[in-house]
Structure 1
């Protein structure tokens, strides 16, 4: 289990399906994070089972209430060792709207980034956000991520219809950012 002052990250459990269902029925999470739609508890339970099987998928738990308030994940970017993909991860994250603007996502991402660089020995962490999700972009930039490019998925298929901005964080950028934060 990974933790900080106000939150902890733990593996997702089947009992979390009710919370996943709540998020899966709210259009806001589809529009801001691309979260999957769920129409019933059975679908959410299947999703909880899938999250459980992913090595680096975590529920964000508020310590005070012991409630699941979000998700954070590290994904494989590929398994091509020669291309260096084994030492890179993609970062995904989502926070319940009732907990926005409290610094909790910044805290959760700090935990998972430290874990990725210190324990997993990753050399790059990539994160993509919908182009209109300025709040997530601001969090990434605050943590030292640098904007690299925008992918226009509308050019791939009219049914996809969105753009995604991609950001990159390296250990050097992370440790530089953390040193700046401890000096101020």
Structure 2
């Protein structure tokens, strides 16, 4: 699958590279950012490089696709968003996104995810987008609901993080 850069009013969604490792480390090392993710905070920049390798490998194998969320005004990478997994046979994907807490409450998540949804439905011809949100991550749940996602239920003890099992809500959006 060919990777395509996407653009919104304020954002460039582009492929990531090892050159982004410091920006990714800087925000994924913050506990407030990773609190509701299925991973712990990064401890060093090399962990960001390993994450980048995993993302690029998934993309090259058509199993996933993640964009760097970059502010047009200053070319600053402020997050990642995309599909954690893609199932072309069943025409569905699993959506994921994370943004540096410095940039929360500016509508960047809504702007990036809206464009990624559009791309999934109209460019990749997918039919269903799923998203899992750790219970308690109300800003993420609210973002999905504003975008038209429906809550389908709870996956009990679905994520094991730092010695604790966490429940997640499952949301979906169907192309109508």
Same fold (TM over 0.5): yes
* SS of aligned partner of 1:169: strand
Structure 1: distance between partners of 2:159 and 2:51:
29
Would the aligned equivalents of 2:134 and 2:166 in 1 still touch at CA under 8 Å?
yes
Distance 2:68 2:140 in 1: 18
Structure number with higher strand proportion: 2
| Structure 1 ranges of 4+ moved more than 6 A | 154-158
Q: Using a 3 Å threshold, how does the CA distance of structure 1 residues 171 and 156 change in structure 2: closer, same or farther?
A: same
CA-CA distance at 1:106 after TM superposition: 0.5
1:44 offset after TM fit, Å?
Answer: 1.6
Asked whether the 8 Å contact 2:158–2:168 carries over to 1, the reply is no
Any stretches of 5+ residues in structure 2 without a counterpart?
A: 60-64
The CA RMSD measured in Å over matched residues stands at 2.2
Q: Structure 2 length normalisation: TM-score?
A: 0.86
Distance 2:81 2:137 in 1: 17
Identify the match of residue 8 of structure 1 among 12, 28, 47.
12
Aligned-pair CA distance for 1:33: 2.5
Decide which structure has the larger Cα Rg and report it: 1
Q: Could you tell me which runs of 5 or more consecutive residues in structure 1 were left unpaired when the two chains were aligned.
A: 173-184
Distance 1:101 1:70 in 2: 14
Q: Secondary structure at the match of 1:5?
A: coil
The structure carrying a bigger helix percent of its residues is: 1
2: CA distance between counterparts of 1:23 and 1:34?
15
After superposition, the Cα gap between the structure-2 partners of 1:158 and 1:22, relative to the gap in structure 1 and judged at 3 Å, is closer
Structure 1-normalised TM-score?
A: 0.83
- Cα deviation, 1:88-123, whole Å, max 9, x if unaligned, reads 000000111111111111110111000000010001
Higher relative contact order (CA 8 A, sep 6+): 2
